[in-house]
Amino acid sequence: MRLLSRVLSVLVCLGLASCAGVKVGTNYDPAAVQRINSFHTYAWLSQPQRTKDTRINNDITQAQVTEAADRDLQARGYKKVDASANPDFLIGWQGAIDTRLSAESVDNYWGYPWDPFWGSYYGPWGTYVRQYDVGTLILDVVDAREKRLVWRGTAQANLGDSPSVQGNGGRIDKGVEKMLEKFPPKQEKS
């Protein structure tokens, strides 16, 4: 029974960790808030090739990011125009996938792994290292008239041990939606 409760608690923790959502943050120029609030039209910046990672720089990811942002912005009344039509703001994106390590220590009190001969209290102990990928998506809003960055949103998500293009579409949609919930920024009260 003790083994079952230990295994169950580990499985619950792993399940909660795998459901961890997208972490979002934003930053903006406080002096530009009034100007940002007057924006009505936008166009996309050209996508620079900042990294050679084909998991990011590909037509599928480009389409997922632009479609998610277009859908959200247009649902809130912004109009997409051609860059030559003098839009109020320009929007661009960039991304990265970083490999990280996680180290977990296990002592012999908890007895991982369980051995039927010795019982649960005499298992080996040590440190277990796990490698996983974290994806970062950045959305930039540039004032088209002044040609300067006025708002930036970032979203990060744990992609797991082996990220795939097919599994990232939902995370991209969710990240873009959560970032753009904070656009335009609200005027700070004094």
Does residue 167 form part of some domain?
yes
**How many residues in total does the chain contain?**
190
The predicted model scores a pTM of 0.73
Cα 114 → chain centroid: 37
| Residue 126 bridge partners (DSSP) | 106
| CATH code where residue 36 lies | 3.30.160.670
**Bridge pairing between strands 89-106 and 79-80:** unpaired
Q: Is 90 within 8 Å of 78 (Cβ atoms)? A: no
Q: What is the pLDDT of residues 76-90, one digit of tens each?
A: 999 999 999 999 999
Evaluate whether residue 96 is within a structural domain.
yes
Q: How far is CA 126 from CA 103, 114, 122, 123, 183, in A?
A: 10, 14, 13, 10, 47
Average pLDDT over residues 29-53: 86
Range of the domain at 64: 20-108+133-181
How many structural domains does the chain have?
1
63-75 confidence digits (pLDDT tens) = 999 999 999 999 9
Q: Is residue 124 part of a domain?
A: no
Q: Which of 67-71, 98-102, 118-122, 158-162 has the lowest mean pLDDT?
A: 118-122
Q: Give the burial string for 148-170 (b: 16+ CB within 10 Å, else e).
A: ebbbbbbbbbbbeeebeeeebbe
Can you read off the two tokens belonging to residue 97?
């996938």
Does a structural domain hold residue 46?
A: yes
Looking at 102-106, 155-159, 169-173, which range is the least confident one? 102-106
| CA distance linking residue 13 with residue 3, whole number of Å | 15
